[in-house]
Structure 1
């Protein structure tokens, strides 16, 4: 793997383009730098007929991504350094601007929507999908909770003028003392009043706060990957499952159970749905909703009779940070309307970390069919990874290009991959 990295570095030098081709748009805070457009194989493991190339690197902590109809990239950077919040990549050259760290990034109609950890913004685009005024984004939503735990305000939009924002719970399991061994759960978990769910706001109304929005769905610990399924006209989300079952309740859970529970779950949401956090979690091996130990559970008692079931469950502690329903025509037909999920990778398994890949879930008639599968692997570049710090790349954001290619971001080295299908 080291050899491939060296080759990428050498080749990227030969393929850099001049930043002079990018318009300035009158923004004094715009910073320019060069990024790679590299046809070489970056070393990902893909199904037959697919290939990957690096189309940008060294962007910073690249989170979610949007691709314009012209093929340009907007990448949200998790950085509060002046001029480094959003990267725009055009023909292998990047310029960056903005001053707020965050995760969310999506294009809908004539606007680019982005988020900080407390607010949601939009930028007006011209007919070339260029931002008209980088200095003055409109504030759509303000004053969202950020207590430095599960603070990412991931977002998506429907086709009726609504925007959906994750407001993650600032807690692992709503304990009296967060993440403390044996600490009980708070009855009536007050966190759910303003976090631990998905809020719906109007996409064209400025300066909205909690009171202007709707708590669309609740009982969701933290959602970083979400997407609006246009064929079903429904919101889908990937929840980050809770931690610490063995660490905090060793009388009920073995170390192995703590590693393998609970499942990372995909939910199909309708307004008013409750996924059950913090009172329950989902056991993917038993296919049951299990009462959380903070609320009287022992690893076997079921609960959550009024909570919805996931549509599919994945192994524990893999951190699903990106979700995309594929609507393009480039990939083989079996991929049409299926879901791609970017797993950022675990950090808290006791032995051997999991994730660091992009999975695919085939759908038919609006529901998953068959088994999920690993689609793109070897981002980490390290076999048997023991610590996330060893990972050379960690998948985060997903986007579909105008030609039907799949784009994947990495927030370790700021790499953007383009995955295409040629059938060869």
Structure 2
């Protein structure tokens, strides 16, 4: 028997989900404790003959009811959701107040995932029934409903999701986005060449250091500011007192969420944009480059070594740009180490491969990775490459974003093949 079970899927509900889905009758039930406390407190103050104005009595009674209501609601403001092999759990914690709901997997008789557009909200919803109970759980937009549906289906849960069908046993592990050339179709040969050593300069160390500074300048500035404040507090320790210094230290530690939040939202994007922009200029400066100008259908991509795509840090073996030229029925790739010219008729197979690293959902150590696996015919035989879109967007990188970028690359390569 396992003492500890690993989580299969985790996420946090959207803020105020439980409050936002209540109807009038639910609100009346939820506010009943606060109403009873307010009435009881007002009656106590009146019958005790406390000498105060009537409006002050009402304010105190309402304040007492509001405090009770806040304590009750605090544990439902944003629950943490987890799924393991035995149950679905919803847990909320606010100091002394907690909320907990557990739905055993074998007892779930019906479960439906609802998309945001179906419920008119900015988030999705999980609705379930068990043999004895039921429940509603919020799902943020960062969670892929299709991936969640597949996970629940594999666990034996009867799950429904609009636009999604449960895969058969044969289809369960098959990629969703697949292109394969017809067996009888004649294949042309793609050309794969090595870039001369002197031109392998898309990622020089100087550019990487500049990108690091661009991405982390705010973090470094904030750490320097905290260091200065720390020195000042030490110098003034006799004047300020221990409690002021301790309170300042707690505030300084808590404030670290600001610079690291900035890096997650903007820093990684800024550094990636600088590196991609610098690499574009070097590609255009190459005399033998297969890309002369950058258009809308140009993707910054990394080539990943297949046996590392499930590792903590997949190994990048090349970086460059893939450009689709539909009028010439081909796509070209100009990288740091390789240069391709691929007629669309040379594509043997292309599909999007989803690889889950760590716990699915919003786990701090897990992520759903999406790669485009491309196989083309060359004069020397088949040539395979595992591509990952390297371009970044402002904001936190989510599973849905990674999937969308991979699918956009897949569609650009295969839609005219």
TM-score bracket relative to the smaller structure: under 0.3
Name the structure with the higher strand share: 1
Which structure: larger Rg? 2
Q: TM-score, normalised by structure 2?
A: 0.20
Q: TM-score, normalised by structure 1?
A: 0.20
